[in-house]
A and B are shown apart, each in its own frame.
Chain A
Amino acid sequence: MSTDHRRDGPTPPAGREMTRRGFFRKGVAAAAGVSAVAAALSPLRHLAPGDIPSVEEFLRKHYKEMTPEEKNAVLARIAAAVEKRFGVRPSLLDPPPLDGVEFVYALNISRCIGCRKCVHACVAENNQSRSPEIQYIRVLKMEKGSIDVETSDHHYAPPVVPDQDSYYMPVQCHQCAKPPCVKVCPVEATWQEPDGVTVIDYDWCIGCRYCEAACPYWARRFNFAEPEIPAGELNPVMGLLSNRPRAKGVMEKCTYCLHRTRRGLMPACVEVCPTGSRKFGNVLDPDSEVSYILQHKRVFVLKQDVGTLPRFFYYFDERGSRYHEPIAPVRSEEPT
Chain B
Amino acid sequence: MKRYLTFLADCVRLSFVGDWRYHAWMTLLTVVALIGLFAWCQQLVSGLVTTGLTDQVSWGLYIANFTYLVGLAAAAAMLVIPVYVYRNMHLHDVVIFGELLAVAVIIMCLLFVTVDLGRPDRFHHLFLRFNFPISMLTWDVIALNGYLLLNLHICGYLLYCAYCGRTPARIFYVPFVFVAIVWAVSIHTVTAFLYVGLGGRPFWNSAIIAPRFLASAFAAGPAFIILTLQIVRRYTRHQVSDDALLVLRRIVQVAMIINIFLLGCEVFTEFYTDSAHLASARYLYFGAGDRAALVPWIWSAIGLNLLATLLLVLPTSRGLPWLNLACVLAIVGIWIEKGMGLIVPAFVPTPLGEVVEYHPTLREVLVCLGIWAFGLLLYTIFVRISVPVLAGQLTYEKRFGRPHAKQDLPPSRTSTGVNP
Contact = CB atoms under 8 A, between A and B. Distances in A.
Given A19-B413, A250-B118, A4 B38 contact: no
Interface in B13-64: 16-20, 22-23, 27, 30-31, 34-35, 37-38, 41-42, 44-49, 51, 53-56, 58-59
| Interface residues of chain A: helix, strand, loop or mixed (majority) | loop
B55 A11 contact: no
A187 B138 CA distance: 8
Contacts of B413: 2, 14, 19, 22-23, 26
A28 interface: no
Nearest to A249: B118
Contacts of A61: 128
Interface string B105-130: 00000000100111111110110111
Q: Indicate the member of A10, A39, A43, A213 with the most B CB atoms within 10 Å.
A: A213
B200 interface: yes
Q: Indicate the member of A33, A138, A185, A220 with the most B CB atoms within 10 Å.
A: A185
A44 B46 CA distance: 10
Contacts of B194: 210
Contacts of A14: 410-411, 413
Interface stretch (A76-84, A150-158, A265-273, A289-297): A150-158
Contacts of B346: 213
B87 to A, nearest CB: 30
B290 interface: no
A224 B141 contact: no
Interface in A143-171: 148-152, 154, 171
Interface in A41-56: 41-44, 46-47, 51-53
Contact of A222 (B22, B58, B129): B58
Given A14-B413, A40-B34, A150-B353, 12 more contacts: A3-B410, A51-B45, A138-B352, A154-B353, A187-B126, A204-B122, A204-B129, A213-B201, A217-B351, A222-B118, A249-B118, A303-B351
Q: Which 5 pairs across A and B sit closest by C-beta, in order of nearness?
A: A207-B118, A216-B200, A249-B118, A150-B353, A149-B353
7 contacts: A11-B410, A14-B410, A22-B413, A26-B413, A186-B131, A206-B126, A306-B200
Interface of B: 16-20, 22-23, 27, 30-31, 34-35, 37-38, 41-42, 44-49, 51, 53-56, 58-59, 113, 116-123, 125-126, 128-131, 134-138, 141, 194, 197-201, 235-237, 276, 279, 346-347, 349-354, 384, 387-388, 391, 393, 407-411, 413-414
Interface of A: 1-8, 10-11, 13-14, 19, 22-23, 26, 33, 36-37, 39-44, 46-47, 51-53, 58, 61-62, 132, 134, 138, 140, 148-152, 154, 171, 180, 183-189, 204-210, 212-218, 220-226, 248-250, 303, 306-308
